[in-house]
Amino acid sequence: MSNDDHPMSRPPVKGPTNRYWIWLIVVILAVASLFTVFVLRDDDAATATSPSGVSGPSPSPPMTPIDSKSELVARLKEILAMRERAYQDRDLKVLKRIYTIDCPCLKSDSNAIRELIRRNYVWVGGETSLRIRKTERITARMWLIIADFGSAPLRIETESGRLIREEPQGQDLFQFVLAKPIGSTQWLLGRASSYEDG
């Protein structure tokens, strides 16, 4: 094919780009719709199965938004502390008690702890801290927390104490999604990612 023919045979750049974005938006909307239907169906089912007109002790009043936020922030701090212990003790079982099954952190932290075990390395330090900026209820079973996430200096060492790697302290703005899956009585971390304040 000659160079003169090449530009004519290539489709315009704008067409595929537009199709790609339209396809991506359709997929995102479809996933969001399915998720919303799933959560609302679960909330409706819980409402439908609650007894009505039955005498007995009156139910406790629902938590106020302030109580809910306090509970969620306390749970997020507990999750982060349990994660630190999982790394320090090289205990994979802890992760299943703090993450949803589809949380990317479950896989990445599991792989990292397996690597510590395989190489006989230990995790020293790395304690975390949070300064909450915002909490937002997404659904009855999902909350969003935006916080400054700080980490103390971290050392990876051999079991004999030889330094392998050292990380300085750091701080980033993070977005955490806490979810309470069906059948769970605990809030679990569903996602943690850096967040741009803008």
CATH label of the domain that carries residue 127: 3.10.450.50
- The tally of domains found in the chain comes to 2
Cα torsion at 88, 84, 187, 102 (round to 10°)? -80
* Closest listed residue to residue 196, CA positions, set 162, 178, 164, 173: 173
pTM over 0.85: no
pLDDT at 11 over 80: no
Kindly list the strands in the beta sheet with 163-167, ordered across the sheet, starting from the edge strand earlier in the chain. 121-125, 154-158, 163-167
**37-52 burial by CB neighbour count: b if 16+ within 10 A, else e?**
eebeebeeeeeeeeee
- Assigned domain for 134 exists: yes
- Assigned domain for 57 exists: no
pLDDT at 16: 46
Q: Do residues 99 and 19 both lie within one domain?
A: no
Expressed in angstroms, the distance from the first to the final Cα of the chain is: 49
Interval 33-87: pLDDT, tens: 333 333 333 444 444 443 444 444 444 445 545 558 999 999 999 999 999 999 9
For residue 126, is it left (φ>0), alpha (ψ between -120 and 50) or beta?
left
pLDDT at 100 over 60: yes
What percent of the chain shows pLDDT beyond 90? 62
Between residues 19 and 144, the one the model is more confident about? 144
- Length of the chain, please? 198
Q: Do residues 86 and 150 both lie within one domain?
A: yes
- Assigned domain for 50 exists: no
Tokens 């749970």 found at: 75
Q: Do residues 118 and 23 both lie within one domain?
A: no
pLDDT at 65: 54
Token duo for residue 193? 């990612």
**Spatial distance between the Cα atoms of 71 and 59, rounded to a whole number of angstroms:** 19
pLDDT at 28: 42
Boundaries of domain holding 151: 65-194
Interval 106-132: pLDDT, tens: 999 999 999 999 999 999 999 999 999
Supply the mean pLDDT for the chain.
Answer: 77
